[in-house]
Structure 1
């Protein structure tokens, strides 16, 4: 028998948007009766969020009252709770309310977190604390997601049309499902030492290619940039340990403290003699340290070597005297010659 499943429907016209998510109204609940059981979710929040939550809790209750969901803030226990009421008509509203209190606990501001109550917005809290074992590397790689002056984070938000907040060991992400999938891959690759700039370049190329309808059914791999890993030569360690020659014999046993005392003869000394010896050793050490400190102090009182500067006036006088002496000697020699 031929299938009638793929038959053309008279109401299936091209002007209908099949992907549009319509809002759930009270009329859509066919039974009109309240839910058989009450659903509730609770989440804890850190101490530093207490003051902020106390300020905005009135706005939270107003936003949830539109969907007929009750909420409570317990400051003693440090928790937030949401639950359905007898007037709740949308079964999915409690799940959005659960995501709302989770985002508020993860330091997402209320004006942004309240958008999760819309049906076309989804959220995800990605844990990144357990991916990198070293704390220093984790901090460096987490900082790469933010970038200098938050430029990397802004670029990712613009390209994926999502909101991203890096906080502690988690990253809170909000937006459409397609953007969440891309951001999860970028975040996980960043923690595995692949820089986000590579993904940003790839997303920018894809965004430009999507504007060209002639490339809609073609493979884009030839347009995307290929980043190859390069083995960069690292610095060699300063201390190069030489390989020890293998010997089947075990190393010589280090002597015990008692053996060393027996060799030096200290083991056979009495208590008084031992004390006298200890005092002598202490005195010797003190004298040695005293000499070293005196030498260090005396260095400050040593006069520095000064450059000898010649006095030009004295130098000129000495030259004149030398000339006069030479002239006198020449005159005396001439007189002797004339006499002879």
Structure 2
């Protein structure tokens, strides 16, 4: 870390491979399952896997797509230098398994300011009809509410089945989780959260001027 004399007390420096020229002492690997019965997802993963493989290879991470078992595996190699990259690779596969487009998911590898959060909402309410109605509130008419949440949190958001996948700053991800869980639990409407975020932004702009 380096000292920043500006607004932040500390700034996380981008990893430099020269910091760990000897590589890792032990191998680490992760496996992510996906629904192999979803033909569209299977075909998409097969199509984009060469791109994913090339991107991971640049960071010294190997990967394997098993269409028969329905899994994606990532592992460090002797060429791996960044000890955190395999965790990013794991999160990459978790996003792909939930239908996040590869160009979007791959941003995790190169940008240290971007994180991800997969919010499981299916177990927050048992009644399926109420669950569907409250999930639709997150989307809004013609996806307008979801677009507003993305705009005010600075996050990419994908609502898919019983999960909500988000990518963005850690502050933004915290806001997204708060909005989503409050909506599904029927504690607060997303529009109320959006209004609060709008007010916060306007106040911040006023203080800067």
Give the TM-score taking structure 2 as reference length: 0.92
Q: Give the secondary structure class of the aligned counterpart of 1:42.
A: strand
Deviation at 1:13, TM superposition (A): 7.5
- The equivalences for 1:1-340 within 5 A come to 14=5, 18-29=9-20, 32-47=21-36, 48=38, 49-117=41-109, 118-193=111-186, 194-213=188-207
Deviation at 1:78, TM superposition (A): 1.0
Deviation at 1:133, TM superposition (A): 1.4
Give, in whole Å, the separation in 2 of the partners of 1:142 and 1:28: 45
Of the two, which has the highest radius of gyration?
1
Contact preservation (8 Å) 1:21, 1:120: no
Give, in whole Å, the separation in 1 of the partners of 2:4 and 2:105: 37
Between structures 1 and 2, the one with greater strand share: 2
Relative contact order, higher structure (CA 8 A, sep 6+): 2
Give the TM-score taking structure 1 as reference length: 0.57
* Alignment RMSD (CA, Å): 1.9
Change (3 A) 1:212 1:132: same
Change (3 A) 1:197 1:12: closer
Deviation at 1:45, TM superposition (A): 1.0
Could you give the per-residue CA deviations for residues 54-93 of structure 1, whole angstroms, max 9, x where no partner exists?
Answer: 0000100111011110001111111100000001000000
Give, in whole Å, the separation in 2 of the partners of 1:209 and 1:23: 32
Unaligned runs of 5+ in 1: 1-10, 216-340
Deviation at 1:21, TM superposition (A): 3.2
1:260 corresponding residue in structure 2: none
Unaligned runs of 5+ in 2: none
Give, in whole Å, the separation in 2 of the partners of 1:211 and 1:114: 32
Contact preservation (8 Å) 2:117, 2:167: yes
Give, in whole Å, the separation in 1 of the partners of 2:198 and 2:178: 16
How many pairs are equivalent? 203
